[in-house]
Structure 1
Amino acid sequence: MATYKARIPSCFLLLVMAFALVAFQGFHKIRDERLSNDIISEKNAEIERLREELQKERITLDEVRGKLKELHKYTDMLRSEKVKLTNQLNELEIVKNAIEERQLRLQSFLQNKEDQINQLKKQEREVIENKAEVQALTGLLDKKENEIKEIKAHLAQFEEGTGKDQNNMSEKMEAHNSNDVQISELVTSTGNVSAEKQDMIEATKEKSNMSKEETKENEFSEIRAMENVERDALEDKVGTTSQNGGLHDRQLEERTELQNIRTRNQDEDEKDSTEEENEGVGDNFDDMKEAENLEMDTDDKDPEDEQGEDIDKVNDEEEADN
């Protein structure tokens, strides 16, 4: 029995070795599977992490794209604003140039108005001076008319047959002629009288020629004719121009005829007529003075009104641009 126990069969050893080899291989296989499972789980976790990062990157990329679009829109808006600002700048430059041109025009217009004002002031001074001269002329004419009245009175006495009145009449005629000479000298010294004033002087002279005397004596008609000739010479010195110079002779003849008719027909009071004439002359000069003052006021007012309108217009344009 002892020999039988000590002896192990060879097939049993082979079986043990095969079993050990299979166990070893199975162990290694299990370990490899476990390791591979661990690696696969790690890789899967890494893949999931990468997927999450990819998703995050996609989200950030979308955000960046949205911001990029906003930046493009903002750049487009800035570009359009730049174009608008450049257009406004050009318009402001145009408005500036227009304002400068308007300012230059207003300055020139103001200078012209100042020149006109100075000229009107000069004319006003001349009118005042000429008014005094015309008053002197009217005074001389009144004096002359008074002398004519005295001559007429002497002529009436002459008709009654008084020889003494003839000498007095000759003396009055000499004084009358001396006054005419003074009037002619005064008129020649005031040759710059305006046409309107000359017309008024001539009108006063023509009105002063009207008398109420109805005598038919030849001497009185001769005296009146001489007076008319002297008055026509005075009018020639005061204001006859080259345009009406050719008609002077015919006007002289017609005037003498009319004056002769008036001396025969009219019966008016010369004193009242001369006073009315003086009042008319004063009223005419006052009207002329008021008209000149009104023109000066309008000339002074127009540049300020136009300048104010231009400034208001410019302010409105600037507010509209803003």
Structure 2
Amino acid sequence: MKINFIIKQLQLKETFSIAYGNYDKRQALLVELSYLDSKGYGECVEIDYYHISLQNFVLKLKEIQSAIEAHKIVHPKEFFQFLLSLNLHPFLLSALDCAYWDLFGKLENKSFIELNRLPAEHLTESSITISVDTIDEQIRKIEESLWNKFKVKCKGLDKNNVEKLLLSDRNIALDSNASFTDEDCIWLQENAGIQKFLYLEQPRPIDQYRILRKDRFANWMADEDCQNIESLDELIPYYKSINIKLMKCGGLTPALQMIRKAKELGYKIMVGCMTESSVGISAGCVLTGLTDYADLDGANLISNDYATGNFVENGKIILSGKPGLGIDLK
């Protein structure tokens, strides 16, 4: 097996504004694993508020390259145990895990769906993100969109804006990126009208969720508070829903375990994304037969997608049906 890796730049179609800041581009690390004539691909991105350094990841890959290339082809779950022994950051772990699933499926001539016997008939529809902006501009974008579900970013709580969004009678979720106060959260979860929102994502900074009550009207969804499977038990009294992102939890292998446990604990589940190319989005798409929500618009928000594979068209998940994760570079 051979490994190659390169840092690429993802250019956003328009400035992406969230409570953490404004972004016009993202750096992505593309990982390629190859064996014989088959190539598998994985990806992770540089996110400042996660303190990610792709240069550090490149140094780590150079350090472990010989160990990876010496490894024989085994089942991906066995390869994942090997990856765990390398003490990798979850973002880098995810890129390698996804690349290996893509490669293994191509070698076996079976899709990830087939290899894991996953449902693929009724795939959850994805939302598209509406950046922080004036409420009138956000509503204009919603009304002009061909998508059916929307994740509206906000920076702090404006009750008048909330009322306007509720009156729009569209399928809307709120994502404050941890910018709500305790008082905001109390007002939201005690307001019966808030049930119209699909969910309210990561209202408070990490580990400041104890003001939340899952038995009230708000469908609170954990994002940064839910990093891995170990988070699930602790969050039960506070969150009804969780956002599983492959980069956060370490890839497709742990995501499958996390989904299984989350279902047992009664959570609603979303598969989410960062700003990603079709390499990352193709991996997320294969899980949408298992989830209640999807937020996989990352590749739709960039202007220089360098891959093809599974994709999202006006919210509908389209699986390529190709082996592995179906990823090819353009």
Structure number with bigger Rg = 1
The bucket for the TM-score relative to the shorter chain is under 0.3
Higher strand proportion: 2
Higher helix proportion: 1
